[in-house]
Structure 1
Amino acid sequence: MPTKRLGAWLRRRVMRLATRKGIDLSRLDAVPESLAWPLRRDRFDPPTRLAEVRAEDPVHKLTSFMGIGVWLVTGLEAGRAVLADTTSYSSDIRPYVGKSGAADGDIGGLGFTDPPDHTRLRKLLTPEFTMRRLERLRPIVREIIEQQLDEVEAAGLDGGPVDLVPTFAFAVPFLVICELLGLPDEDRARFRELSSARFDISEGGYGAFGAISGSREFLMEATKRQRVNPGPGLIGQIIREHGDEISDFDLGGLADGVFTGGMETSAGMLALGTAVLLERPDVWARLADDEGESVAEPVVEELLRYLSVVQVAFPRFAKAPVEVGGHQVAEGDVVLVSLPGADRDPVFGAAPDAFDPDRPPRQHLAFGHGMHRCIGAELARMELRIAYPALARRFPDLSLATDDLPFRQMSIVYGVDTLPVTLHAPAECRTS
């Protein structure tokens, strides 16, 4: 059977299964605890239950939900195997969200797309994320970081606490993404409103899928405008190079996927990573002296592993019965890979639940794996490797202003909503 016909047949089959079972995740007004508990954390750490489940079996039948078996993978090897399997699973979630959760039959982004559409669209996007093109962004990233550090410093002139989330952790990746996409200044205020709501599942599917549709529609409108006058960023570049090869709908989806992968995740890493580092003044001092990223590189990799802010990889729906870690997964079942679970696997060496920047390097799953691995991973690394040392150099005495941080309780992308810090040590401490 030709590839297109096979893909259409599989999509119809999954949609019939979803329709027959009456599944529409977007209409959920609450996520049951049987599904939610792997997303809960204790400060920087995943729930202890996750480690207990992994020790018992890295592939675990989590629950049955709305007639679908849900499997949780918590081991590194098993997680990598599932994410690398391009034939046994579908990532197309459209049959499960209904009309209320999708815009014109889709919800956008490469993460919910299967081959051959995924292959075609990712091929258009990949050249924009080569190291050569990303290096052209490095001066802009540095400029944005220094600009935001100036704002942080200005906000702390009275000596009181400064919230690093709006001034730095959110602002830096937001402005970088706007530059990358080529969004004009007048679009950025509205774009900013559509950021973190899409990852919050505390009220079930309504809010998350509504926010996805909202950002997708916004970026489709931006794409339509750039058809007439292409901008300097990614949207305009793809229009100039590919023109009618890609529709506004698909290009808006690609831009939305870049937003999804590069905005909230980097913001979470900047905020949480800073909180972790402030508990390690020795590492903070090393970063302040780092001029060539030689210190920052291993620190960033360990923070990515330790925090794994993306809590679960894109869901995998079994297209046919498949064996996973010795278990039989039925057709239509969903397999979820817990990225924090996999990245705290004992294979990472001694004390995998500890932050250790001197840990021997080993490939983690913080950016996912396989065909849906985050396409903006190297841009995120660039931001973090520049941002942490710059923050440490500007504020060597930076400290948390409270021990009671507002960690998110029910978000696919983990983070804090505020990060109050004191910029400078008291005068008596500096002079003693």
Structure 2
Amino acid sequence: MTDALVCPAGGTAEPLPEYPLPRAGRCPLAPAPAVQELRAEKPLTKVRIWNGGTPWLITRHADQRTLLTDPRVSDDDLDPGFPYVNAHRADMATVTPRLITNTDAPEHTRLRRMVNGPFVVKRIERMRPAIQKIVDGLIDDMLDGPNPADLLRAFALPVPSLVIAELLGVPYKDHDFFQRSSSLVLDGTVSPEKAREVSGALAAYLDNLLGEKMTEPGQDVLSEMGGRVKAGEMARTEAVHMGVAMLIAGHETTATMISLGTLALLQHPDQLALLRETDDPKVIANAVDEVLRYLTIVQTGVRRVAKEDIEIGGVVIGAGEGMIFDLHAANWDPDAFAQAERLDVTRPARQHQAFGYGPHQCLGQNLARLELQVVYGTLYRRIPTLRLAAEIEDLEFDHTGTTYGVHGMPVAW
């Protein structure tokens, strides 16, 4: 359903598209066809969202890069014009502390500095041997277990869950709790009351763990944040909720990229063969960025609000108006990537926007890249006969969360 706008003369304008727009069942890994049409015909246009709001939809790669680095574009989700993803995100905005996910400079700069250290390239790269050991161990378990297997449960979820637990200092024995809680927090169909309850439980869990780390610190991110709390550099609530955000983002998205990335490669056997037959880290790293570009699993867009009038592309985005940046549409923009609809692991794809762009781009992108490099560089070489054990049209895709995924992925070898 779409609502029509009543024009002053009594006529009716074209109905606004309702966002997010549906994907095509026959091309489940591609952006929504209507979004690609808008990018070609109306790259800056209004859409209607769940609460009746009418933010701007930005679909071109260049326009997104311009706006996401404009200081007049704000991440402040307390602004009345902010286009919330769903009802429970709107509800949580009133109780969530100011974090790197909902502030602008200078507060964003201060908070980002507090947590950036563990995620810089050099420190993340030191985790490669440990991640390799995790990946090899899980592949061993898969090969020793039932065939077919569910790649999501047997491999894709455990890899990032083990890694983020190690990085944060969270006991992996609690992974069922934080995986289930994370899924509910990100589920757009969950009521605000349920989302608040689950978020509260996660925050209580992290608060208790942070307290333990402040008493007996280890070599992990929670211990580092605990030290900053004790030094008065960071509020305890800030540390707790940053821990919650890292725990959720640190496994859910990477698990999806492992499962959907494998699915995409299985659908393109020539590209899979290129990965299977190389041990060149540069080739593997480039392939990871291309799969990130091709899939762009964030399906609800990056949300912002204009603090001042902004003129771009012949339109004016007014102060207080919301904006949605459809990252998948930008990553399939033919002006940025020739034959963007093709998966080509040899393509120079580093300019993709799967992690967003500008000062708010994903904190954990270096960790995600490293995990995917180890997975894509190992799984297909160790199980060269890996294949999908179902028809792609029979897979149950997940449209409810912030990211696009699949509920299960049976594979055989």
Instruction: Name the TM tier (shorter chain).
Output: 0.7 to 0.9
Shift of residue 251, structure 1, vs aligned partner: 0.6
Partner of 1:114: 104
Partner of 1:274: 262
Preserved contact between residue 296 and residue 389 of structure 1 (Cα < 8 Å): yes
Partner of 1:130: 120
Q: Distance in 2 between the 1:320 and 1:212 partners?
A: 33
Partner of 2:310: 322
Change beyond 3 A, Cα 1:94–1:242: same
Change beyond 3 A, Cα 1:281–1:74: same
Preserved contact between residue 35 and residue 62 of structure 1 (Cα < 8 Å): yes
1:165-190 deviation digits (Å, cap 9, x = unpaired): 01111110111111110112444342
Partner of 2:9: none
Partner of 2:5: none
Change beyond 3 A, Cα 1:343–1:99: closer
Consecutive aligned runs of 4 or more in structure 1 exceeding 6 Å deviation: 94-100
Partner of 1:347: 335
Q: Distance in 2 between the 1:166 and 1:188 partners?
A: 12
Preserved contact between residue 99 and residue 105 of structure 1 (Cα < 8 Å): no
Matching of residues 269-308 of structure 1 within 5 Å: 269-308=257-296
User: Is 1:162 matched with 2:149?
Assistant: yes
Matching of residues 173-212 of structure 1 within 5 Å: 173-203=160-190, 211-212=198-199
Preserved contact between residue 296 and residue 327 of structure 2 (Cα < 8 Å): yes
Amino acid at match of 1:60: T
Partner of 1:44: 29
Q: How many residues align?
A: 389
Matching of residues 30-429 of structure 1 within 5 Å: 34-37=18-21, 42-63=27-48, 66=51, 68-93=53-78, 101-102=91-92, 105-106=95-96, 109-156=99-146, 160-203=147-190, 211-240=198-227, 243=230, 244-361=232-349, 363-403=351-391, 404-423=394-413
Shift of residue 272, structure 1, vs aligned partner: 0.4
Q: Percent identity?
A: 33
Partner of 2:4: none
Shift of residue 153, structure 1, vs aligned partner: 1.4
1:274-332 deviation digits (Å, cap 9, x = unpaired): 01111233332332333242331221111010000112443112223333432222332
Preserved contact between residue 91 and residue 315 of structure 1 (Cα < 8 Å): no
Partner of 1:10: none
Q: Distance in 1 between the 2:168 and 2:23 partners?
A: 30
- Which piece of structure 1 moves more, 256-265 or 395-404? 256-265
- Which piece of structure 1 moves more, 412-421 or 354-363? 354-363
Q: Distance in 1 between the 2:305 and 2:367 partners?
A: 29
Partner of 1:21: none
Change beyond 3 A, Cα 1:205–1:294: same
- Which piece of structure 1 moves more, 108-117 or 75-84? 108-117
Change beyond 3 A, Cα 1:64–1:168: closer
Amino acid at match of 1:155: G
Change beyond 3 A, Cα 1:325–1:261: farther
Please report the RMSD computed on the Cα atoms of aligned residues, expressed in angstroms.
Answer: 2.7
Partner of 1:28: none
Q: Which runs of 5+ in 2 are unaligned?
A: 1-15
Amino acid at match of 1:132: K
Q: Distance in 1 between the 2:205 and 2:99 partners?
A: 14
1:11-55 deviation digits (Å, cap 9, x = unpaired): xxxxxxxxxxxxxxxxxxxxx981332678741011111111111
Q: Which runs of 5+ in 1 are unaligned?
A: 1-31, 424-432
Instruction: Compare the two structures and name the one with the higher helix fraction.
Output: 1
Amino acid at match of 1:225: E
1:109-160 deviation digits (Å, cap 9, x = unpaired): 522223332111100111111222112211111111112112211223xxx3
Preserved contact between residue 91 and residue 113 of structure 1 (Cα < 8 Å): yes
Preserved contact between residue 40 and residue 409 of structure 1 (Cα < 8 Å): no
- Which piece of structure 1 moves more, 209-218 or 180-189? 209-218
Amino acid at match of 1:258: M
- Which piece of structure 1 moves more, 231-240 or 119-128? 231-240
Q: Distance in 2 between the 1:289 and 1:269 partners?
A: 21
Q: Distance in 1 between the 2:321 and 2:52 partners?
A: 9
Q: Distance in 1 between the 2:345 and 2:90 partners?
A: 45
Q: Distance in 1 between the 2:65 and 2:395 partners?
A: 32
1:247-293 deviation digits (Å, cap 9, x = unpaired): 22101122222223322111111000001111233332332333242
Preserved contact between residue 398 and residue 421 of structure 1 (Cα < 8 Å): yes
SS at match of 1:335: strand
Q: Distance in 1 between the 2:148 and 2:396 partners?
A: 15
- Which piece of structure 1 moves more, 105-114 or 176-185? 105-114
- Which piece of structure 1 moves more, 56-65 or 90-99? 90-99
Change beyond 3 A, Cα 1:118–1:211: farther
